[in-house]
Amino acid sequence: MSRADLVVVANRLPVDRVIAPDGEESWRRSPGGLVTALEPVMRKPDRAWVGWGGQPDLDIEPFDFEGARLVPVPLSAPEIESYYEGFANGTIWPLYHDVIAAPVYRRSWWESYVQVNRRFAQAAADAVEQGGVVWVQDYQLQLVPKLLRELRPDVTIGYFHHIPFPAYGLYSQLPWRRQVLEGLLGADVIGFQRQADAGNFQRSVRRVLHHTTRSNEIVVTSPQDGKEDSRVAIAKAYPISIDAQSYIELAQDPKVRARAVEIREQLGNPKTILLGVDRLDYTKGIRHRLKAFGELLQDGRLTVGDATLVQVASPSRQRVDAYAELRDEIELTVGRINGDYDTMHHTAIRYLHQGFPREEMVALYLAADVMLVTALRDGMNLVAKEYVAARTDNTGVLLLSEFAGAADELTSALLVNPHDIGGLKDLIMRAVEMSPGEQSRRMRALRRRVLEHDVEDWSHDILNDIDKIRTARNARR
């Protein structure tokens, strides 16, 4: 197998396996944000992507897709349960999102996480050429940088953490806190969404491993042949973004614009359409949003017919208990609110437990007067950026949680603490009643930021820092 100069390692491959009615199997590019984010990187020659094929026991050879080499890593059904649903999404995900749900610490899950991370590291080591670069993605693979460095000391390693990194007071709960930090510190560059995440990580590194940090640098020391060996790792913020231009193009497409008008009509042409778009996840604050909206109807500050909330909640991690319970709660709440307030002509909440193609999402963004992003904790939240990019005529209001990484950049949004239901209600009313002049002033500033810093800048910034280290290293050899 030919080896690649740059290897991306992520939990999932950038493709989904589809089986046609006649039984023929093929691969289709998956719709996720990470795939779009890395598209410009993967378009260049000499690239490979290591990841899981999305189904149990899929043990197939590497294959080429749209010019890149894809290297599938097999996972058995028990491993999906213990590594992916268990340690990644039952331990790390809730712990790193400020324990909104209680993390479960189970030793068998940890053992499986170590074993699967080892497999990903081996696959990356086999795929990368001498002196090449491996770029590891996200919390499912935090041990890969160290394991890979042990296998391939010639390789320069980057890691990007797409979700928050918690404050030490929470992180310190993790029974394997030392091993996870050591795993991450195998990388030469460790990227975070916000400076606060990089700061939390550095503090944990100081407290647990006693390494010295200065500004964005960590001095990583390890015993080598009886003496101390040291190198410098970079830990800093590289906020991820979107391919803004592709959203602008879709927003200007006459078919998409016509669909936006049709959506408004199908909802009975209410004065105000409010929109929420999330994976169905307890970190997204969907319950808080529904509570605030329901109370506004109850108080008579909003009325059905004048205002409709469209809530897209795409199915996610449905076999994890906390997600199944959340779905039940949300659906009970939506049913109650609609039961109390719907009329024959209008609905209070149009709830869609479905995923939609990008064209339909942009049509929804165009149809919506107010976008509600009320996450209780979120690494970045790309929906906020997508809404802003799509509003080419500078209308519309973004209401954005202070606890989403995007709030660091999108400071002209209406920023909200979603835990404060009274405050959230008042801000929803402010958004609904905002004058066209204020909407335009705010939207222009938001759009400037999203257009100035798009996803290509993000990957360029981090890969540039990785490359500087690689050049310096290869020069020393």
Collapsing DSSP states into helix, strand and coil, what is residue 309?
strand
- What's at 427, amino acid-wise? L
Nearest residue (CB) to ligand F6P, 240 versus 251: 240
Nearest distance from C-beta of residue 442 to ligand F6P, angstroms: 27
Contact in structure between 138 and 168 (CB atoms under 8 Å): no
Buried b (16+ CB within 10 A) or exposed e, 359-387: ebbbbbbbbbbbbbbbbbbbbbbbbbbbb
Q: How many residues bind ligand F6P (CB under 6 A)?
A: 9
Residue 354: Cβ within 10 Å count: 10
Nearest distance from C-beta of residue 52 to ligand F6P, angstroms: 9
Nearest residue (CB) to ligand F6P, 276 versus 396: 276
Nearest residue (CB) to ligand F6P, 68 versus 469: 68
- Quick note: the x/- pattern for ligand F6P over 242-281, rule CB under 6 A, is ----------------------------------------
Nearest distance from C-beta of residue 31 to ligand F6P, angstroms: 10
- What's at 466, amino acid-wise? I
Cα 274 from Cα 211, distance rounded (Å): 48
Q: Does 442 bind ligand F6P (CB under 6 A)?
A: no
CA distances from 369 to 223, 351, 365 (A): 59, 17, 8
The phi-psi region of residue 394 (left if phi > 0; otherwise alpha if psi is between -120 and 50; otherwise beta) is left
Interhelix angle 286-299/321-341, rounded to 10 degrees, is: 10
Contacting ligand F6P within 1-30 (CB under 6 A): 11-12
Nearest residue (CB) to ligand F6P, 65 versus 430: 65
Contacts of 432 (CB under 8 A, 6+ apart): 272, 274, 302, 307, 369, 370
Nearest distance from C-beta of residue 86 to ligand F6P, angstroms: 12
Q: Does 39 bind ligand F6P (CB under 6 A)?
A: no
Q: Does 32 bind ligand F6P (CB under 6 A)?
A: yes
Cα 383 from Cα 368, distance rounded (Å): 13
Contact in structure between 133 and 158 (CB atoms under 8 Å): yes
Nearest residue (CB) to ligand F6P, 140 versus 156: 140
Contact in structure between 237 and 193 (CB atoms under 8 Å): yes
Q: Does 127 bind ligand F6P (CB under 6 A)?
A: no
Cα 411 from Cα 441, distance rounded (Å): 12
Contacting ligand F6P within 380-419 (CB under 6 A): none
- Of residues 13, 34, 50, 361, which one binds ligand F6P by CB under 6 A? 34
Nearest residue (CB) to ligand F6P, 33 versus 186: 33
Nearest distance from C-beta of residue 382 to ligand F6P, angstroms: 9
Cα 438 from Cα 395, distance rounded (Å): 9
Contacts of 117 (CB under 8 A, 6+ apart): 141, 142, 143, 144, 147, 183
Cα 418 from Cα 293, distance rounded (Å): 12
- Of residues 76, 316, 338, 392, which one binds ligand F6P by CB under 6 A? 316
Nearest residue (CB) to ligand F6P, 35 versus 244: 35
- Quick note: the x/- pattern for ligand F6P over 145-174, rule CB under 6 A, is -----------------xx-----------
Nearest residue (CB) to ligand F6P, 85 versus 454: 85
- What's at 81, amino acid-wise? E
Nearest residue (CB) to ligand F6P, 11 versus 82: 11
Nearest distance from C-beta of residue 1 to ligand F6P, angstroms: 26
- Of residues 39, 138, 243, 454, which one binds ligand F6P by CB under 6 A? 138
Nearest residue (CB) to ligand F6P, 16 versus 360: 16
Nearest distance from C-beta of residue 289 to ligand F6P, angstroms: 20
Cα 368 from Cα 360, distance rounded (Å): 12
Nearest residue (CB) to ligand F6P, 265 versus 325: 325
Contact in structure between 160 and 137 (CB atoms under 8 Å): yes
- Quick note: the x/- pattern for ligand F6P over 337-376, rule CB under 6 A, is ----------------------------------------
Nearest distance from C-beta of residue 239 to ligand F6P, angstroms: 14
Q: Does 317 bind ligand F6P (CB under 6 A)?
A: yes
Nearest distance from C-beta of residue 328 to ligand F6P, angstroms: 20
Q: What is the 3-state secondary structure (H, E, C) of 332-370?
A: HHHHHHHHHHCCCCCCCEEEECCCCCHHHHHHHHHHCCE
Query: Which residues of the shown chain bind ligand F6P in the complex (CB under 6 A)?
Result: 11-12, 32, 34, 138, 162-163, 316-317
